[in-house]
Amino acid sequence: MAATRLRPYIKSDGNAMWVSLRTPWFTVVSDIVPWCPLVNVKMSTLRVALLQLKGQPTKQECISNASAQIRLAKDKGARLIILPECFNSPYSTAEFARHAEEIPAGVTSKALGKLAAELGVYLVGGTYPERDGTKLYNTCPVFGPKGELLCRYRKMHLFDMDIPGQCTFQESAALTAGDELATFTVGKFKIGLGICYDKRFPELTACYRQLGCDMMIFPSAFDPYTGPLHWDLLGRSRALDNQMFVALVSPARDPTTEYVAYGYSLLCDPWGRVVCRAREAQEMIITDIDLQLCEEVKRQIPVLRQKRGDVYELVAKK
């Protein structure tokens, strides 16, 4: 029997399927090839995994734990996989220098790049302390499916907070602040990067919106004191203001560490809804996000188009 020649067909609900080349566009349903791997894969969707990882005693163990979870995420079909802030070292100003490494020459970048290439995924490497000459940064690298470093984002707003008796942290005592936005694309998705405290600065996410991003990713290690009040609120606000998806990815909560991270990693949609959320322990949350939702919300509530550029303006200087 002669092999059937196929072409992709996108249904009105956005789902894609293969159909015979001979099939007229309007009679497609009767001619579906049932075993086709494209069936039920929406061209506008992206499967995202948020890995809420538990810290481990050594850097090598952190990398091994992350690698095992990344493999699991790939098995579940994730194309974009996100790790938390400071996933391979303690979140501590006293420890940053000891754990810092060059990016992408260091051991963590090499391991993540190799794994991204082996699995063919986009891997947002959470953050780890980066050494560049005499300077240290809190940096989020992104590796593409060929293992290449797609971009890096250096935390721009350093976490200097002092709530006596609750949380005192001075990241600026140990680190230099970055001053560049960083974006990458996965299919049709343009994605912007920030790190934890950065989400308190609405202008930053708005700048990414101006660049055309439909998703923001914030590897984070939020404090358990501010977490219950501000974590959801900030994620949802950035999503709603900018009509985009927002992923907040935390380490698992571990009460035995000096700095305790909040946990509760979550993903918000352009309506400002929390789509899925982890609890406190190590956990993977995985979901499909759909670009059409951004388009729909932008059409239905056109706040982005209705900004009054004649009265006020947001200017990205870099």
Verify binding: residue 159, ligand LYUYDEPV, rule CB under 6 A. Answer: yes
Q: Is 208 in the site for ligand LYUYDEPV (CB under 6 A)?
A: no
Q: Is 263 in the site for ligand LYUYDEPV (CB under 6 A)?
A: no
Least separation in angstroms between residue 93's CB and ligand LYUYDEPV is 11
Residue of 62, 140, 196, 213 marked catalytic:
196
**Residue spans of beta strands (DSSP E) within 83-230:** 122-124, 128-132, 135-143, 149-154, 160-163, 167-170, 183-186, 189-193, 215-219
Determine if 53 is a binding residue for ligand LYUYDEPV (CB under 6 A).
Answer: no
The reply on whether position 223 binds ligand LYUYDEPV by CB under 6 A is yes
Position 167, amino acid: C
Asked whether position 297 contacts ligand LYUYDEPV by CB under 6 A, the answer is: no
Q: Does 87 bind ligand LYUYDEPV (CB under 6 A)?
A: no
**How far apart are the C-alpha atoms of 243 and 254, rounded to whole Å?**
33
265 φ, ψ (degrees, to nearest 5): -50, 145
Angle CA 219–225–226, to nearest 5: 55
Does the annotation mark 85 as catalytic? yes
Helices 107-119 + 59-75 axis angle, to 10: 10
Q: Does 85 bind ligand LYUYDEPV (CB under 6 A)?
A: yes
Token pair, residue 43, equals 């061209």
* Coil, helix or strand at residue 254: coil
Q: Among residues 67 and 92, whose Cβ is nearest to ligand LYUYDEPV?
A: 92
Residue 221 interacts with ligand LYUYDEPV (CB under 6 A): yes or no: yes
C-alpha to C-alpha distance for 158 and 199, rounded to whole angstroms: 11
Would you say 214 or 223 has its CB closer to ligand LYUYDEPV?
A: 223
Catalytic positions, written as ranges: 85, 155, 196
* Residues making contact with ligand LYUYDEPV (CB under 6 A): 85, 159, 196-197, 200, 221-223, 226, 230
